[in-house]
Amino acid sequence: MNFQNRTVVLGVGGGIAAYKACELARLVVKGRGTIRVAMTRAATRFVQPLTFQAISGGLVLVDLFDPASEATYGHLSLARSADLLVVAPATADLVARLRAGMADDAVTTTALAVTCPVLLAPAMNTRMWRNPVVQENLAALRARGFHVVGPGAGELADGDVGEGRLAEPEEIAVAASRLLGNLDLAGRRVLVTAGPTREPIDPVRFISNPSSGKMGYAVAAVAARRGAEVTLVSGPTVLPDPAGVKVVRVETAEQMAKAVEAESAAMDLFVGAAAVSDYRPQRASASKIKKGTGEETLVLSRTPDILAGLGARWAGAKDGPVLVGFAAETEEVIARAREKLKAKRCDLVVANKVGGPGAGFGGDTNRVALVSTTELAEIEGPKEKVAEAILDWILPVLEGRRPKQG
Ligand code: C5P
């Protein structure tokens, strides 16, 4: 996540989840952003302002009547500096006071004075969360343009189980960077393949695989959100076109190879997330093959390896595109990924053990390893999070290469 040149003001409410706001502040700092913190009095009962002061490197606003900070109109200076206000945890009390437009502490006053987007991360006990007055307050804030992330469901600090857990700091940070319109891929051209291919046997039968296309679509969507000009060459999927992405729909590996070829001029990054069939029936029958009584033999031919073709074409070229491949394996995942990195001459291979829980075909989450010649990093979570991590990895490599002209 990239928060460079952005100031996030963090309003911390008085709930047990306040300690998680420290991690959120740290993620903004890690993303090279500026974080400034306002706390309610109750929040300071859970976490010392000094903790946020140490993470943010700045004074924490708690007391509106503190002569030191109010000499410079502390609450207004915070509000003026904000590109985004994140309220985490947004307790039931804080949500009510925000809805009422009160200005009775450092957080609500800052919220009243900001003109930037506001992101609320609610956290409270499940019973409180379900209370209609809380939902009504949140609905009113949403209608007023406030954004909301979470809450998640699970075990709460008080032992109850259900909705009300503060969204994980990572999730809040991702939502924050989206609202900030993190455009670190602006001016870059990205070509993504996704989904399976279908290799016809006859007009009603084909060879394919269960790829849903979700991983590639997530890469395309995230790259577009981060400002890239994205073309997605997709095999047959049921997924809607991602916003702001040019989608070229194909069926076979050969069509996919042709579409990539046609779109590949001047690309900065190629992400081959498609599960391209390695073989196709040598001859597709023009009419439906009749059922016989005995065995049938299907002669298969190799399909073009799109990624390897690009790797061979750009091998050694300084201004070639960054090439990312995927490796779905059932065993020796990392070793196979390393082989693929070399054989297909790509910059990064995203290795994926298929068959394990929470990973692989069809699901909304993935567990992958990013394998390059120099690094090995493990990522787990929703496919969009994996897509963000892949693009985060690519960014410094891209920065070493000039954006393409034309
Ligand atoms: O060799 P394997 O199919 O395991 O390699 C997977 C990677 O190569 C994926 O990134 C996939 O999109 C790409 N690939 C391709 N063309 C093929 C086969 C695979 O681009 N014919």
Those residues whose C-beta lies under 8 Å from the C-beta of residue 324, and which sit 6 or more positions away, are 269, 270, 271, 272, 346, 347, 348, 349, 350, 390, 394
User: What's the 276 CA to ligand 1 centre distance in angstroms?
Assistant: 6
Residue type, 7: T
Q: CA-to-CA distance for 264 and 378, rounded, in angstroms?
A: 29
For the segment 112-120, the average pLDDT, to the nearest whole number, is: 96
Distance (angstroms) between ligand 1 centre and the Cα of 252 equals 13
Atom nearest to 302 CA in ligand 1: 21
With a 6 Å cutoff on the Cβ, whether 193 touches ligand 1 is yes
3-state secondary structure of 365: strand
Summarize pLDDT for 241-270 with one digit per residue, the tens. Answer: 987 789 999 999 999 999 999 998 789 999
189-284+293-401 CATH: 3.40.50.10300
Q: Could you tell me if the CB of 325 is within 6 A of ligand 1?
A: yes
Task: Please determine, for residue 358, whether its predicted confidence score (pLDDT) is greater than 90.
Answer: no
Indicate whether residue 274 lines ligand 1 (CB < 6 A): yes
Cα 385 to middle of ligand 1, angstroms: 22
Q: Which of 255, 300, 313, 326 to probe ligand 1 with, by most ligand atoms within 8 A of CB?
A: 326
CATH 3.40.50.20 fits 7-179, yes or no: no
- Are the beta carbons of 281 and 265 closer than 8 angstroms? no
Backbone angles phi, psi at 139, to 5 degrees: -60, -40
What gap in Å lies between CA 8 and CA 196, rounded to an integer? 41
| pLDDT for 10 beyond 90 | yes
Instruction: Specify the higher pLDDT residue, 2 or 92.
Output: 92
Residue 327 CA to residue 350 CA, distance in Å, equals 6
Distance 272 CA to ligand 1 centre (A): 7
Question: Can you give the pTM of this predicted structure?
Answer: 0.65
Which are the catalytic amino acids? Answer: 209
Which of 276, 347, 350 to probe ligand 1 with, by most ligand atoms within 8 A of CB?
276
Joined tokens for residue 294: 């005995």
Q: Measured from the CB, is residue 191 less than 6 Å from ligand 1? A: no
Confidence of residue 335 (pLDDT cuts 50, 70, 90): very high
What pLDDT is attached to residue 265?
A: 79
Which residue CA neighbors atom 17 of ligand 1 most closely? 305
pLDDT of residue 334: 94
Give distance in angstroms: CA of 395 to centre of ligand 1: 22
Q: How far apart are CA 119 and CA 277, in angstroms?
A: 43
Strands 118-122, 147-148: pairing is parallel
| Ligand 1 lined by 327 (C-beta under 6 Å) | yes
Whether ligand 1 lies within 6 angstroms of the CB of 278 is answered as yes
Domain boundaries defined on the chain: 7-179, 189-284+293-401
Confidence (pLDDT) at 360: 63
Q: Is the CB of 272 under 6 A from ligand 1?
A: yes
Q: Which atom of ligand 1 is nearest to the CA of 349?
A: 10
Distance CA 59, CA 53 (A): 6
Q: What is the dihedral of CA 238, 241, 243, 248, to 10 degrees?
A: 150
For ligand 1, whether the C-beta of 326 sits within 6 Å is: yes
ω before 89 within 30° of 0 (cis)?
yes
Q: Which atom of ligand 1 is nearest to the CA of 336?
A: 4
Q: Is 276 in the pocket of ligand 1 (CB under 6 A)?
A: yes
In this structure, are residues 199 and 303 in contact, taking their beta carbons and an 8 Å threshold? yes
The first and second tokens of residue 349, run together, are 């291979």
pLDDT exceeds cutoff 70 at 73: no
Q: pLDDT by residue (tens digit) across 149-204?
A: 999 888 777 777 889 999 999 889 988 987 887 778 888 999 999 999 999 999 99
3-state secondary structure of 378: strand
